[in-house]
C-alpha cells in the first residue's frame, strides 16, 4: 500500500463516500462454525491498529469515511459486518430481516475475530463500537475478552429508547410474539416509500441528508447488503442483554480507558442508561452532545462529526500508547 502522503492520498481531495478507498482489502473471516464474516482492512498501522465494530443493520460501506480518516492518521483499520447483516449473509429466508438466535453468537464472533486481529500485528490497539457494536464490545470486555489499550463507544446500545412505551410493556409484547412463533419475523415495518417517511427515519439517525442518502445509495447499488427491521428475537435479546450488562459486576473489570460519546436526544438508544453504565466503569469519559446530534454521531453534519473525530483522536493519542 502506498504511504499516506503519496499522491493517492491527497489531503485536500474530498472523500468519495460512494467508493471504496484505494489500497484496501475486502475478504471474509470465518467464525468458529465456519460462518463467513465480511471484513475490510485499510492502512499500514504506523500509529497502531483499530477495530471498528458497527451497529445493527449497518454495513462496512457506511463507515468508509471513518475508516479512511483513521487510516490516513496511521491506523491499520479493520471493520466487519456482523453475521446476518451487511455482506455476511442472512439467518432467515427474509433478506431484509435482521435476525439472530442469540446475542452470544455475536459475542463469540467478536471474541474470535478480535483474537485473530490481535495476532496480525504489533503496536497499540484500540476498538471502536457504534450502537449495537458498542454494546457488544462492552459486553465482551465485561465477560473477559482481552482488553485493548483503549476503547471508544459511540451512541452505545446500553438501553433501548422505547419512546412512550414503558420497558415492561415492550418486554411483554416481545414475549407474546415469541410465544406465537414469530421470533424470526420482522418486529416492525421500515417505511421508506415516500420522501416524508425517509425524512422521518433520517432525522432519527443524522441531521445530514447527504450522508443519509449515501446509505440509501449503497443499499440500492448492492442489494445483497441491504437490511430492514430486526426480528422479534433480536428485540428480545436486546432487551435482555442490555439489562444484564447494566447489572453486571463485570463492568468493574473493564480497566482499559473508555471514551463514550452520546446524544442527549437519541431516539434509538437510552442516553440515561449510557450515563448509568458510564458511572460504573472505572476509567470512562463521557461526552453527551445536545440537540445538534442524532444517533449516528460519526455520520453527522461536519461540526459534530469533526468534533467527534477530534475527541476520538485526542483520546487515542493519550491512551493507546
Q: With respect to residue 223, please indicate whether it lies within any of the assigned structural domains.
A: yes
Distance between CA 30 and CA 33 in Å, rounded? 8
The domain containing residue 45 runs over which residues? 25-319
Whether 281 is covered by a domain: the verdict is: yes
Residues of 290-299 as b/e, b for ≥16 C-beta within 10 angstroms? eeebbbbbbb
Q: For residue 75, list its beta bridge partners.
A: 48
Nearest residue to 136 (alpha-carbon basis) of 68, 84, 189: 84
- The residue count of the chain comes to 321
Q: What is the CATH number of the domain that holds 54?
A: 3.40.50.1820
How many helices (DSSP H) and strands (DSSP E) are in the chain? Answer: 9, 8
SS3 content of the chain, % helix, strand, coil (to 5): 40, 15, 40
CB under 8 Å to 288, separation ≥6 — which residues? 261, 262, 263, 264, 271, 274, 275
Determine, yes or no, domain membership for 191.
yes
Which cell numbers in the block locate residue 73?
492518521
Within a domain: residue 161?
Answer: yes
Q: Is residue 7 part of a domain?
A: no
Say which DSSP state 156 is in.
-
Number of structural domains found in the chain: 1
Q: Which of 170, 139, 135 is nearest to 155 (CA)?
A: 135
Report d(CA 203, CA 205) in Å as an integer: 5
For residue 12, tell me if it sits in a domain: no
Place of cell 465485561: 142
Residue with C-alpha cell 490497539?
125
Asked, for residue 146, whether it belongs to a domain, the answer is yes
Per-residue pLDDT of the chain (321 residues; tens, 9 = 90+): 334 344 444 445 789 999 999 999 999 999 999 999 999 999 999 999 999 999 999 999 999 999 999 999 999 999 999 999 999 999 999 999 999 999 999 999 999 999 999 999 999 999 999 999 999 999 999 999 999 999 999 999 999 987 778 899 999 999 999 999 999 999 988 777 788 889 999 999 999 999 999 999 999 999 999 999 999 999 999 999 999 999 999 999 999 999 999 999 999 999 999 999 999 999 999 999 999 999 999 999 999 999 999 999 999 999 999
Written as nine digits, the cell of 12 is 485536500
Residue 315 near residue 257 (C-beta atoms within 8 A): yes
pLDDT at 10: 43
pLDDT reported for residue 13: 74
Q: Which residue blocks in the chain are alpha helix, DSSP H? A: 64-72, 103-119, 132-142, 167-179, 195-205, 209-221, 232-247, 271-280, 302-319
Q: What does the alpha-carbon distance between residue 52 and residue 236 come to, in Å, rounded to a whole number?
A: 25
Q: Is 258 a member of any domain?
A: yes
Distance CA 309, CA 19 (A): 21
Predicted local confidence at residue 193, as pLDDT? 73
In angstroms and rounded to an integer, the radius of gyration of the C-alpha atoms of the chain is: 19
Q: What is the DSSP letter of 124?
A: -
Amino acid at each position: 500500500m502506498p504511504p499516506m502522503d503519496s499522491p493517492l492520498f491527497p489531503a485536500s481531495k474530498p472523500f468519495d463516500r460512494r467508493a471504496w478507498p484505494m489500497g484496501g482489502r475486502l475478504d471474509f473471516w470465518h467464525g468458529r462454525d465456519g460462518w463467513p464474516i465480511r471484513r475490510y482492512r485499510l492502512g499500514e498501522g504506523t500509529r497502531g491498529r483499530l477495530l471498528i465494530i458497527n451497529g445493527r443493520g449497518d454495513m462496512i460501506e457506511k463507515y468508509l469515511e471513518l475508516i479512511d480518516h483513521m487510516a490516513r492518521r496511521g491506523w491499520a483499520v479493520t471493520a466487519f459486518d456482523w453475521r446476518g447483516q451487511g455482506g455476511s449473509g442472512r439467518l432467515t429466508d427474509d433478506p431484509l430481516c435482521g435476525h439472530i438466535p442469540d446475542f452470544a453468537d455475536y459475542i463469540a464472533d467478536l471474541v474470535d475475530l478480535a483474537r485473530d486481529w490481535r495476532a496480525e500485528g504489533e503496536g497499540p490497539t484500540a476498538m471502536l463500537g457504534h450502537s449495537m457494536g458498542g454494546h457488544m464490545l462492552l459486553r465482551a470486555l465485561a465477560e473477559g475478552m482481552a482488553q485493548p489499550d483503549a476503547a471508544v463507544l459511540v451512541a452505545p446500545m446500553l438501553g433501548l429508547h422505547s419512546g412512550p412505551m414503558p420497558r415492561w410493556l415492550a418486554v411483554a409484547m416481545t414475549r407474546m410474539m415469541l410465544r406465537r412463533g414469530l421470533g424470526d419475523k420482522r418486529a416492525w415495518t421500515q417505511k421508506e416509500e415516500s420522501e416524508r417517511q425517509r425524512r422521518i427515519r433520517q432525522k432519527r439517525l443524522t441531521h445530514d441528508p447527504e450522508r443519509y442518502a449515501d446509505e440509501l445509495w449503497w443499499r440500492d447499488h448492492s442489494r445483497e447488503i441491504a437490511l430492514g427491521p430486526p426480528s422479534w428475537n433480536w428485540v428480545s435479546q436486546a432487551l435482555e442483554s442490555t439489562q444484564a450488562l447494566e447489572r453486571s459486576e463485570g463492568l468493574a473489570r473493564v480497566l482499559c480507558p473508555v471514551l463514550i460519546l452520546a446524544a442527549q436526544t437519541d431516539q434509538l438508544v437510552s442516553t440515561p442508561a449510557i450515563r448509568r453504565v458510564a458511572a460504573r466503569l472505572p476509567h470512562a469519559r463521557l461526552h453527551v452532545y445536545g440537540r445538534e446530534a442524532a444517533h449516528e454521531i460519526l455520520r453527522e453534519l461536519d461540526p459534530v462529526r469533526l468534533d467527534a473525530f477530534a475527541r476520538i483522536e485526542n483520546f487515542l493519542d493519550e491512551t493507546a500508547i
